[in-house]
Amino acid sequence: MSDLMSTRAVARYLGINQKKVYFLAKTGKIPCTRVTGKWTFPKKLIDQWIDESASGFLQAKSKSEERSFLVAAGSDDPSLGILRDLFEQKTQPASFFMGTVGSSGGLAAMQSGVADVATSHLLDPASGEYNLPFMPPKAVAVQLFYRDLGLVVSKGNPKEIRSMTDLRRRDVRVINRQPGSGTRVYLDHEIARLKIDPKKITGYGSAVSTHLDVGLQVLRGEADVGLATKTTALLLGLGFVSLRRERFDVLILKDRFFGPNIQLLLDIIGSGEFRDRVEAMGGYDVSESGRVISSKHH
């Protein structure tokens, strides 16, 4: 059942409102089924539908047409606003669009051609490697930064939350991230490794789509803890329990790598101005920003 998504989850995953999802379902334009009177959507078929829809869109366009804008899709991070600001300073009118659809959604959007780049921090537990095991052939990974991921808690950590095992305590309310996000993938892997039943975690089913939303839930007292970045805790004056250092990359298909907009973006990522502004936020290691990590071939 974990592979079945609700209408609300699909709306978040695709970045559209629920009414649009209902319309697509009722008109048979999206893979779905009805269970106990409610629409449910198999995630694998949704990903396939995204890919097929994008392919049809691209085939209808001239392959030689150069976009006058840049589309990024994938994982959320507060620093991406800096990246967009610097890009738009160098291109007029404003021409950088971002969709927060989670690392998995970003990969699907990039591979299908809907997005020019994906932002991702997907961890492969078997190898300990980020992103590379999930990349399609002929793709390039460019490092944005390392960041600290951990448990964001109330200031002073009044519930004395120290580790992932505290999530199963009855007096601890959790705010989760949406399915498909790199943070949710990591959380689900960790609770499985620790043999924690998700049903025993209060709030496991409550999900938001950004790190900032996690922090705001904790700040307002609507949750006691959530998985997010150290930067989120610093920005909101919250407590933080570090769990791991993760690599956050930009992923690009090789056939778009040398396009002028992509090259401009890469110049910005490797620039001192980008590094300085990101580092000033706290919680980042930008010493290798702009490094090309991997190129895959068929």
Beta bridge partners of 73: 99, 118
Side-chain-side CA neighbours of 198 within 13 Å: the count stands at 12
CB 182 within 8 A of CB 72: no
- Look at residue 256 in the predicted model and tell me its pLDDT: 87
265-280 pLDDT per residue, tens: 999 999 999 999 999 9
Parallel/antiparallel/unpaired status of strands 38-42 and 33-35: antiparallel
Interaxial angle between packed helices 7-14 and 18-26, expressed in degrees from 0 to 180 and rounded to the nearest 10: 110
- Give the pLDDT of residue 277: 96
- In the predicted model, residues of the chain with pLDDT beneath 70 are 1-2, 35-36, 53-68, 92-94, 294-298
pLDDT at 298: 35
Per-residue model confidence (pLDDT) at position 113: 86
Amino acid 18: pLDDT: 81
Paired sense of beta strands 117-120 and 70-74, if any: parallel
Q: Determine the pLDDT at residue 26.
A: 77
Place of tokens 């919680």: 283
Encode pLDDT of 109-160 as tens digits: 998 888 999 999 999 988 889 999 999 878 999 999 999 999 999 999 999 9
Half-sphere exposure of 82 (CA within 13 A, CB side): 17
